[in-house]
């Protein structure tokens, strides 16, 4: 599983790519749009930003997977939004938007997971690596 250091380094490299290309490169990866998710740290109260792929979108809802590469622990960004679901999401060159994060319930996960796992097999592999059920997070526009 990727270490915290490796995950932070990958995020840093991704941001450098976006900056160096003037935002032209880095908004898609492995056939998925990339988002910049900003949460509020559950311990620090400070803003925390991470780059994530979104394997599924439905209308104005953006879905992200709290896989952490199949690790047995949830990613920090997931714990942050679980405690404070008010987030900011930047998708492509557009300005960041205020959104509300909602952890998919059992019915939503049962409907969406097979779509994600069939189109992006890496997520099915991550689920096989761990005993925890990997959460799906639905990011929806705030106030809508």
Domain-wise residue ranges, the chain: 4-141
**Does the pLDDT of residue 18 top 80, yes or no?**
no
Domain 4-141: CATH superfamily, name plus number: Electron Transport, Fmn-binding Protein; Chain A (2.30.110.10)
Q: Supply the pLDDT for residue 106.
A: 97
Q: CB atoms < 10 A from the CB of 77, how many?
A: 23
| CA–CA gap between residue 89 and residue 111 (Å, rounded) | 24
**Length reported for the chain:** 144
DSSP 94: S
Mean pLDDT, the chain, integer: 85
pLDDT of residue 26: 55
pTM listed for this prediction: 0.82
How many whole angstroms separate alpha carbon 63 and alpha carbon 58? 8
CB 18 within 8 A of CB 25: yes
Average pLDDT estimate for 116-138 = 93
Please identify which residue in the block is written with the tokens 């409907």. 111
Asked whether 69 and 53 are in contact (CB, 8 A), the reply is no
C-alpha triplet 70, 17, 10: angle, nearest 5°: 25
Query: Residue 138: is its pLDDT beyond 70?
Result: yes
Over residues 107-116, the mean pLDDT reads 97
């Amino acid at each position: 599983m990727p270490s915290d250091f490796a995950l932070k380094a990958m995020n840093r490299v991704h941001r450098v790519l976006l900056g160096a290309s003037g935002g032209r490169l880095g908004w898609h990866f492995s056939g998925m749009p990339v988002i910049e998710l900003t949460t509020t740290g559950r311990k620090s109260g400070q803003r925390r930003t991470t780059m994530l792929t979104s394997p599924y979108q439905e209308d104005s809802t953006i879905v992200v997977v709290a896989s952490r590469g199949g690790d047995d622990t949830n990613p920090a960004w997931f714990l942050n939004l679980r405690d404070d679901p008010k987030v900011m999401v930047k998708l492509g060159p557009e300005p960041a938007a205020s959104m509300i994060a909602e952890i998919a319930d059992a019915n939503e996960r049962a409907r969406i997971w097979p779509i994600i796992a069939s189109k992006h097999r890496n997520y099915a592999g991550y689920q096989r690596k761990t005993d925890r059920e990997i959460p799906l997070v639905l990011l929806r526009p705030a106030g809508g």
